[in-house]
Homo-oligomer: A and B are copies of this chain.
Amino acid sequence: MIDTTIIEAQNATREADLRRDYDALGEKLSRSGVDIDAMKERARGFSVAVPSWGTGTGGTRFARFPGKGEPATIFDRLDDCGVIHRLTDAAGSVSLHIPWDKAAPEDLLAKAEEQGLRFDAMNSNTFQDHAEMPLSFKFGSLSHTDAATRAQAVEHNLECIEIGTKLGSRALTVWIGDGANFPGQTHMGRQFERYLSSMKEIYKGLPDDWRLFSEHKMYEPAFYSTVVQDWGSSLLTAQELGDKAKCLVDLGHHAPNVNIEMIVSRLIHAGKLGGFHFNDSKYGDDDLDSGTIEPYRLFLVWNELVDAEGTPGLELSHMIDQSHNVTDPIESLMISAMEIQRAYVQASLVDRETLAGYQDENDALMASATLRAAFRTDVEPILQMARFEAGAAINPVLTYRASGYRARVASERPEVSGAGGGIV
């Protein structure tokens, strides 16, 4: 959808500067024993999954303000994902959300192949009512007091697995909004037991080579209590289900001030870390673009992950999970993929042997300075060179804008009018 000639023309204007910056950085890194080409290869090996629904403009309970050329179908969304990957070479897979993305599997596979994409973890949805389902999820789904409603929710998850197996997916992410808005509304212990019981039904239907991700969230849409409110509850869930069950950490689903990288470390210790939903936030589950609010926090998470590379059994699934309310979603997703990649490369620069030495000597000052030195290294030339060599864009956003893609799809896709959020 983005013509190669456009990318090449755009890259041509930036190549010389890139080579100069890359060489200067390479020389500098070499003084600390770092091979820049090795870093570039790490960057090239990086990929994060894009959520199909993230290609549409998001909103809040107050309002949603759609942009031009909103994708109307999963095929539109896959086209947009294709653009993201084409320009960044860092987002080679897509995470589908059922029922929003339901379509004939063969058509989905064909479109994905056309766009050079794979299908990552499947996402079920029991936080909304589905037109074709007889029972409402207003008061819960997998943990509902009513057995039939729970069964309906289990069935939906099994269908997600079924769809996913046809698409080459190998994981199911379960996030539910079940909880309560008032003290006393639910019996929190029995509700958790009902949840676990439903999850066991789903787990039974999980193919041997699949994984099931349990995702916690502190609050919203439930505002007093949530069934899987923190990593402790997620851990209990994964422990009770079995080896194929892992915990998924969404960066925006925590209490204020919480040390997320420590949770990452604990889940690695427990053998239960399964993956991430990347985004950034300042207040609650703000779902802002990854790396735009607290970039050092993102780096510290990656510092744990790079450190843990090679841990037996550690296999991580990385996905973006954001809401784009005031930007072009394609641009935000490209920026986010690159910010995540940036943190990964920066974390890869940490001299772990030196760091371990400082840690052993309790040299807190030099240990923390070691991390900061890696973080403040401007690895942009590494990321640009990785893209350039892959045929992607040195500057994806400006290349995208130069391509006229958004205007083109705006002329092809149906216009969407603004709408209120859920508040009224």
Contacts and interface: CB of A to CB of B under 8 A. Distances in A.
Interface string A351-366: 0000110111110111
Given A262-B229, A423-B323, A219 B58 contact: no
B418 A128 contact: yes
A288 B224 CA distance: 9
Interface residues of A, number: 125
Interface string A183-201: 1111111001100000000
Contacts of A292: 182-183, 368, 372
Given A62-B128, A128-B63, A422 B419 contact: yes
B128 A223 contact: no
Interface in A267-314: 268-270, 281-284, 286-289, 291-297, 300, 303-304, 307-308
A350 to B, nearest CB: 8
Given A53-B424, A128-B418, A368 B185 contact: yes
A251 to B, nearest CB: 14
A182 B289 contact: yes
Contact of A259 (B27, B177, B225, B370): B225
A397 interface: yes
B185 A223 contact: no
User: Which of A20, A181, A289, A303 has the most CB atoms of chain B within a 10 A radius of its CB?
Assistant: A181
A405 interface: no
A253 B186 CA distance: 25
Interface in A204-261: 218-221, 223-225, 229-233, 235-236, 254-259, 261
Contact of A327 (B235, B304, B364): B364
Given A288-B181, A397-B366, A62 B422 contact: yes
B58 A397 contact: no
A270 B234 CA distance: 12
Contact of A138 (B61, B65, B270): B65
A293 B224 contact: yes
A269 B189 contact: yes
Nearest to A325: B181
A283 B420 CA distance: 23
A31 B13 CA distance: 13
A63 B372 contact: no
A262 to B, nearest CB: 5
Given A139-B326, A293-B183, A129 B367 contact: no
Nearest to A97: B424
B367 A188 contact: no
A266 B192 contact: yes
Nearest to A421: B422
A56 interface: yes
A4 interface: no
Nearest to A419: B422
B223 A286 contact: yes
Given A65-B137, A236-B270, A378-B378, 8 more contacts: A65-B129, A183-B293, A188-B304, A189-B307, A230-B263, A232-B263, A232-B266, A377-B378
17 contacts: A24-B24, A53-B424, A61-B221, A100-B424, A184-B371, A219-B283, A224-B288, A229-B259, A230-B230, A230-B231, A236-B269, A284-B284, A292-B372, A295-B372, A328-B365, A331-B365, A419-B422
4 nearest A-B residue pairs (beta carbon): A59-B422, A421-B422, A232-B232, A255-B255
